[in-house]
Structures are given as structure tokens and as C-alpha cells.
Amino acid sequence: MERRRFLTTSLGASALALGARNLPAQSPVAAGREYYELRQYHLQSGPQSKLVENYLSSALIPALNRLGMSPIGAFNLTVGPETPTIYVLIPSNSLDTLVTADLRLAEDAEFLKAADPFWNAPATQTPYVRIESTLLVAFEGRPKLKVTPVSADHGKRVFQLRTYESPTNKDHVRKVEMFHKGEFAIFERAGFWPVFYADALIGPRLPKLTYMLSFPDLAEMNSKWDAFTSDPEWKKLSGSPRYTEEAIVSNVTNLVLSPLACSQI
């Protein structure tokens, strides 16, 4: 219990420090905004992928659902560095539930039985090379994750995961501000299916923000971006002196993901 209290207090303080610019007075981070863990399972080519996919579908995702965390996204990295990698997106309304999930899973007999091949794999045949995680909090203007129109039917879809790193916290604040000052509406006019927009609270290469978009296919993705970049409001917003007096984004990571059969997004 003391460890849980320490974790949630520490993470809440970090969230407040990084997100205070957008937060109403009743925070600790902000009422109604979701938290996300974005987890990466870095793999080697071979049987690891199947072992991790089986673990996600039969053990992890059902157990997280029992903890009240849903929908869970699970994706293969199809375009980007460091393949093979599987990404898992875990949303939660509760920071406490999110950061203590692994402790609670260790007490879940049903999970432990289903997870046995993954958890008890020998050191000579590990199920992954390394796991990385980033903790995020949803933007104030888009506080909840949205499931794509075809996800419920497991229809054809691809996902784009974009991360913007900023040179300084001041520049990061202005980039987040751009979304709230018009960028959300431009995405919607262009016909994007947004999944989430979020600030990174804990993780590598801070300060940064991450967002996920979905499309029926890659051709549609390219078409939608053409519509976005040609929108007069985007030209006006991106040309504003407030956002052009210096570079507010220093690096962009652009990944294309495909959903696993077990993905709920």
C-alpha cells in the first residue's frame, strides 16, 4: 500500500508539473482526462512474436479488462525503425490503477495461468528483448480515447503514431496550444479518425507529445494528409508568428502500425 501511495503521489506531481498550463483548479491532473501507458515489446525475428501475441490475447488484455481498463490497443510496427516491435496502448481513468496494474496482475490466478508460457519462459528463450513504456495524459481538449469506426467489427484499418519532441518546455507548451487553437478541427475537416492526443509525463526524450490517427488504408492516409496540409486554416495557424518565431518541434517520429487480431482499437 505504501508503494502504491508513493507511485501515485509521485506520478501525480509529475503530471501536474508538466501539464499545469492546461489544467483547471480542481486538478491533480485534470478531471475527466485519461492516462495512457504506451508499451513497446522489442522482439527478435522468430517465435517471440507469436509468444507475445498469445500472451496479449489470452492473458494480458483479458486481465486488464477485468481491472476496468478498456479498450486495449495491440499493434505490430509495420513502418518505422526497430522492427519487430509490438505496441500496446493501455488507457485508464485512474492513475492508481494504471501504475499498479502489474502488481495486481501478479495476484490474479486466472492471469497467471494464462500467462505461464510468457512469464516462465527460460532466460535462454526470452519472450522479448526489452520492454519500454511511456506514461501519457490526454490533452484537455480531447480527454478520452476514441475507438475507430471499424474497430468494433475488426475491419481493415491502419494506424499512424506520431511523436513531436520540442527543444524546450516553453516550445512544447506552444505546440500543445496549437492543437487546442485549431489543429483538432483541421484534422476533423480532413476526415481523420483520431484515437488519442496526449502529453508524455514520464518516458524518454522529453518534452514531447504523442497522438494516434487511424485510416482505412495507406492510400487514404496520404490523401487525408494532403487535405490537412492544404487547408487554409492550417496555413494560417502554422504561419502564425507565435508558432514560427522559433522552431517549436525539434524531431518528429512517424510510425505506421497494424492492429493485431486481439486489438480492441
- pLDDT confidence tier of residue 46, bands split at 50, 70 and 90: confident
Distance of CA 75 to the CA centre of its chain: 11
Q: What pTM value is reported for the model?
A: 0.88
Q: For residues 38 and 229, give the distance between their C-alpha atoms in angstroms, rounded to a whole number.
A: 28
pLDDT of the residue at 17: 41
Q: For residues 249 and 175, give the distance between their C-alpha atoms in angstroms, rounded to a whole number.
A: 7
pLDDT > 50? residue 12: no
pLDDT of the residue at 148: 85
Mean per-residue pLDDT over the chain, rounded = 90
- pLDDT confidence tier of residue 8, bands split at 50, 70 and 90: very low
**Which has more pLDDT, 155 or 8?**
155
CATH of domain 2-137: 3.30.70.100
Cα–Cα–Cα angle for 133, 261, 120, nearest 5°? 55
pLDDT > 70? residue 73: yes
pLDDT > 90? residue 91: yes
146-259 matches 2-137 in CATH topology: yes
- pLDDT confidence tier of residue 30, bands split at 50, 70 and 90: low
**Which has more pLDDT, 28 or 111?**
111
Contact 80, 254 (CB under 8 A): yes
pLDDT > 60? residue 4: no
**Which has more pLDDT, 66 or 12?**
66
- 230-257 pLDDT, tens digit per residue, is 999 999 999 999 999 999 999 999 999 9
pLDDT > 70? residue 5: no
Q: For residues 29 and 215, give the distance between their C-alpha atoms in angstroms, rounded to a whole number.
A: 31
pLDDT > 90? residue 16: no
CATH of domain 146-259: 3.30.70.100
Q: For residues 79 and 163, give the distance between their C-alpha atoms in angstroms, rounded to a whole number.
A: 14
Domain positions in the chain are 2-137, 146-259
Contact 90, 260 (CB under 8 A): no
Q: What is the average per-residue pLDDT within 27-54?
A: 87
Q: What is the average per-residue pLDDT within 200-205?
A: 96
pLDDT of the residue at 237: 97
Mean pLDDT is lowest, of 6-15, 70-79, 123-132, 207-216, for 6-15
pLDDT > 60? residue 201: yes
